[in-house]
Amino acid sequence: MVLTCPQFDSPSLFGRDIHAFNSLVQSWYGASIKSQDRSNRPWRIVYPLDFLPLGNTDQMAVFDEFVDDLAAYLKVETEKFSIAKKWELSPPVEENNVAKYMENVGSREMS
Asked if residue 4 is part of any domain, the answer here is: no
Its domain, for residue 75, covers 49-80
Alpha carbons 85 and 48: distance in angstroms, whole number: 11
Q: Which of 111, 89, 107 is nearest to 98 (CA)?
A: 89
Are residues 89 and 105 located together in one domain of the fold? yes
Are residues 74 and 89 located together in one domain of the fold? no
Asked if residue 109 is part of any domain, the answer here is: yes
Residue 68: alpha-carbon gap to chain centroid:
17
Q: What is the mean pLDDT of the chain?
A: 82
Are residues 88 and 111 located together in one domain of the fold? yes
Are residues 75 and 87 located together in one domain of the fold? no
Q: How many domains does the chain have?
A: 2
* Contacting residues for 24 by C-beta, under 8 A, at least 6 apart: 13
Please compute the mean of the pLDDT values over residues 29-49 and round it to a whole number. Answer: 77
Asked if residue 87 is part of any domain, the answer here is: yes
CA distances from 71 to 15, 33, 53, 66, 77 (A): 19, 28, 21, 9, 6
Please compute the mean of the pLDDT values over residues 63-68 and round it to a whole number. Answer: 93
Asked if residue 73 is part of any domain, the answer here is: yes
Asked if residue 110 is part of any domain, the answer here is: yes
Alpha carbons 79 and 76: distance in angstroms, whole number: 10
Alpha carbons 58 and 54: distance in angstroms, whole number: 10
46: pLDDT strictly greater than 80: yes
Asked if residue 5 is part of any domain, the answer here is: no
pLDDT at 85: 93
Are residues 87 and 73 located together in one domain of the fold? no
Asked if residue 19 is part of any domain, the answer here is: no
